[in-house]
Chains A and B, each alone.
Chain A
Amino acid sequence: MIRTQGLTKKYARNQALAGLTLEVPEGSVFALVGPNGAGKSTAIKLLMNILQPTAGRAEVLGVDSRKLGARQLAQIGYVSENQQLPEWMRVGYFLTYCKKFYPGWRDDDLAALVASYQLPLDRPLKALSRGMKIKAALAASLAYRPRLIVLDEPFGGLDVLVREQLIESILDRTPEATVLLCSHDLAELESFATHVAYLNEGRLDFVEEMGALSGRFREIEVTLENPTALPPGLPATWLNAEQSGVVIRFTDSGYQAGPSAAEIQRCFPGVREIAARPITLRAIFVALAKRARENP
């Protein structure tokens, strides 16, 4: 569905994206995550042919992203938090105006979306709240059942209920679609992303299936018999190790039940107890970000 190879974007001396290589499988819900300024939005704009890459290439729906034209855009639903909508239009006219551009537009889908989102058709877009504007943009992007949905930080600042409603509607209305979602709000991704790519300072740290990612990250708490200083040379997969009295905590980014326990026993003599807890996506990225800060 989407494939990039060494995709790079430079602004003067500033490298926004450095050699991004990844593949978004068809039917996946692919989350592009990372801290602010990591290059997520730049990557999406390159894919959507809004920006031109400095180097590398990308393919979207089988077409070079630089040649993405009306035919491909008719199959893509794009919503961004920063999108400048034609604010003078009333919601009803906005949706009618968009309809003419899409051969696959379905009035019944639109009616359902309008009802579900409770969109006020007679109000101008400029009079709507941010949440309602996103809903209007989303309605205009889902009514033609796009093959690819691209969402650039769409839910930032929305309350949890609205966010859940929008995510649900995306999954319900377009179950076949591939979704590429970029966000730094990890809570909104956890429930429905199938793949995660982590970008940091323009570089791809990793890309992984959600299940595999959740499976290999554990928060480890080791209780010792006696207080012992943290030994040097801990495994690189143990992130942000801290000691407090007889308790040592760290995030294991390569957890495997048996081998991990054995490694802990080897590193810390006198282990009284080992607790390995699954952690949230948010906690995973906090750990990664903290490690990146401490070991730049």
Chain B
Amino acid sequence: MIVHVLKKDVRRLWPAVIVTLILLAMLAHADWWRADPTPGQTEAWLNLLLPFAWACLIALLIQEEPLVGDRQFWITRPHRWPQLLAAKLIFVLLFVHLPALAADAMILAMRGFPPLQYLPQLLGKQALLAGALTLPALAVAAVVRSFTHFVLAAFGVAAEVLFLAGFDTPFPWHPVDDVRQGLAVILLTAVAVAVIGLQYGGRRTLVSRCLAVAAALIAGAVSGYLPATSAFAVQAEVSPLHPQLSLRLVPRSEKLPPDWNRDRVMVAIPVDVSGIPAPDSAFLEQLELEIDTPAGDRQQSAPPRVQSRDFDKRLLEAYLIPWNPLNDSSGRWLELRFTRATYDRFRNARVGITARAGVTMYRPGTKTWMPVGGPVDAPGAGHCSAAVVEGRFAEQMLKVLCESPSEIPIGTRVTVWHPESGQEWKQGWGGARPYYRGLGGTWLSPLHRGMTYFNLDSSGRAEKYQIPMGALATAKISIAPIQITGYAVLPYRLDGISLAEYVVPPQPGR
């Protein structure tokens, strides 16, 4: 029965299968010839078009035996639903997942990564494809009356994704994004499986539709709005490390962080975090903070990493700096940026600060050295190379890029070292990026590609942020990936703080 239905579906849908295979071949071809993290426009469009084509293929497949309605020929014929569903799932495996897996393996092989060595990553990507695309597409196709309705529903989902993308932060925020997207995919997968079971088992269309709509809305809300503190709490829960962390006030040092914004009053409170298990270090992010006074006045900080056009409404912003202690060893600061009026409310009081910080613990990995040009295999970062390229304004830049079947940690450090002068230029992974206009998503690629840039100076001067062109001939580049070892939420309370004591004077000339 399974083979019988499968053969019928193949006979019916082979033209649509051919279309998806052509799109996949085009995408794979573009992917295996690309070294740059930024895709060409064709590849970027294919990253949208191919999932849509796959979703349409799945919809056509399900609509061969539609589950909604009371006039279908097949529902009065002796189909056994587990066998019918099995036939559909095998079709999806054969004509969506298997070609995708083969294409991914081919891309890895062409880019110099033995596919068998990266089988877990390849299978993981297929699981993600199933959870984010094929199972939800199967579920939607099972609750709509026709292919046209499916396309309309797909546009609805695309509109929701675009709406949520409007709230996206310009830079990835892995600890939070991973939880938001992971929870959304888990929810969608679970509900998709439930809907498919309900529809094939008993054609419970009304219940299934309600479930599907609710899941789409909740998944959208989770992926767009799940508070960062909750996301860190989830990460901490599944983290192998559960250290007892604490944050305390420390004596003020002479060196203050620079004041960047004279429209705001900047307060820098020196703090220290203890409890991070050796030899790990930690990135710290201020997630939520509230200032209170004995008189009962309170002020919460604005949510972190939220793009806001109405900057004036962010009355108080809170940061723990430096984010990466490797950037700066002069200590940590709780940095509060007030609007002038907000600061005036608290300036004469001894305030309490109640806050939660997100902690990402990591261990520095092995440093790998390469000359300008490369290439080199950097453990934890994949294949890396460096080249001098021209920027948007014809300026010269040194571009360092790496590609790997595994994710390249965001905290990876890239350092250019000039042996003759002993000078170093440091850059965080993805800390500098070129101007790029257009679609840039490559979520179907089996490779994670990343890059960072160093500005070059042809005048021969050696500056902090510019590498003299002449230094490149003998310069060496080190790639130092990190290994994330765990996450935690750090709640803390500081009492009796006089903000005026910690105000950072504006920089001269500003």
Query: Which residues from chain A sit less than 8 Å from chain B, CB to CB?
Result: 45, 48, 50-51, 69-74, 76, 78, 80, 82-86, 88, 97-98, 100-102, 137
Interface set, chain B 30-76, CB cutoff 8 A to A: 64, 66, 69-76
B79 touches A51 (CB 8 A): no
A98 touches B77 (CB 8 A): yes
Interface contacts (Cβ under 8 Å), in number, total 46
Residues of the B chain whose Cβ atoms lie less than 8 Å from the Cβ of A69: 78, 80
Which residue of chain A has the shortest Cβ distance to B4 in the bound complex?
A: A100
- Roughly how many angstroms separate A131 CA and B71 CA in the complex, as a whole number? 18
Which residue of chain A has the shortest Cβ distance to B204 in the bound complex?
A: A52
Quote the shortest CB–CB distance from A245 to chain B (angstroms): 52
Query: Which residues from chain B sit less than 8 Å from chain A, CB to CB?
Result: 1, 4, 8, 12, 64, 66, 69-80
- Roughly how many angstroms separate A127 CA and B79 CA in the complex, as a whole number? 26
A101 touches B79 (CB 8 A): yes
- Roughly how many angstroms separate A97 CA and B8 CA in the complex, as a whole number? 8
- Roughly how many angstroms separate A70 CA and B75 CA in the complex, as a whole number? 10
A73 touches B73 (CB 8 A): no
B73 touches A48 (CB 8 A): no
- Roughly how many angstroms separate A177 CA and B77 CA in the complex, as a whole number? 18
Give the residue of A48, A71, A100 whose beta carbon is less than 8 angstroms from that of B76: A48
Residues of the B chain whose Cβ atoms lie less than 8 Å from the Cβ of A78: 76
Give the residue of B4, B64, B66, B76 whose beta carbon is less than 8 angstroms from that of A50: B76
- Roughly how many angstroms separate A216 CA and B212 CA in the complex, as a whole number? 56
Residues of the B chain whose Cβ atoms lie less than 8 Å from the Cβ of A88: 12
Query: Contacts A97-B8, A100-B1, A100-B4 known; A83 to B78 CB distance under 8 Å?
Result: no
B78 touches A73 (CB 8 A): yes
A84 touches B73 (CB 8 A): yes
- Roughly how many angstroms separate A100 CA and B1 CA in the complex, as a whole number? 7
29 contacts across the A-B interface (CB closer than 8 A): A45-B70, A50-B75, A50-B76, A51-B70, A69-B80, A70-B78, A70-B80, A71-B78, A73-B77, A76-B76, A78-B76, A80-B71, A82-B71, A83-B71, A83-B72, A84-B69, A84-B72, A85-B73, A86-B64, A86-B73, A86-B74, A97-B4, A97-B8, A98-B77, A100-B1, A101-B1, A101-B78, A101-B79, A137-B73
In the A-B complex, the 6 residue pairs with the closest CB atoms:
A70-B78, A78-B76, A73-B78, A74-B78, A50-B70, A100-B4
Quote the shortest CB–CB distance from A213 to chain B (angstroms): 29
Residues of the B chain whose Cβ atoms lie less than 8 Å from the Cβ of A84: 66, 69, 71-73
Which residue of chain A has the shortest Cβ distance to B69 in the bound complex?
A: A84
Residues of the B chain whose Cβ atoms lie less than 8 Å from the Cβ of A85: 73
Quote the shortest CB–CB distance from B304 to chain A (angstroms): 49
Quote the shortest CB–CB distance from A190 to chain B (angstroms): 27
Quote the shortest CB–CB distance from B461 to chain A (angstroms): 73
Residues of the A chain whose Cβ atoms lie less than 8 Å from the Cβ of B66: 84
Query: Told that A48-B76, A70-B79, A83-B76 touch, could you supply 17 new A-B pairs with CB distance under 8 A?
Result: A50-B76, A51-B70, A69-B80, A71-B78, A73-B77, A73-B78, A78-B76, A80-B71, A83-B73, A85-B73, A86-B64, A86-B73, A88-B12, A97-B4, A98-B77, A101-B77, A102-B78
Residues of the A chain whose Cβ atoms lie less than 8 Å from the Cβ of B74: 86
- Roughly how many angstroms separate A106 CA and B16 CA in the complex, as a whole number? 35
Which residue of chain B has the shortest Cβ distance to A68 in the bound complex?
A: B76
Quote the shortest CB–CB distance from A180 to chain B (angstroms): 13
- Roughly how many angstroms separate A100 CA and B73 CA in the complex, as a whole number? 15
Residues of the B chain whose Cβ atoms lie less than 8 Å from the Cβ of A72: 78
Residues of the A chain whose Cβ atoms lie less than 8 Å from the Cβ of B79: 70, 101
Quote the shortest CB–CB distance from A48 to chain B (angstroms): 6
Quote the shortest CB–CB distance from B189 to chain A (angstroms): 28
- Roughly how many angstroms separate A48 CA and B75 CA in the complex, as a whole number? 9
Residues of the A chain whose Cβ atoms lie less than 8 Å from the Cβ of B73: 83-86, 137
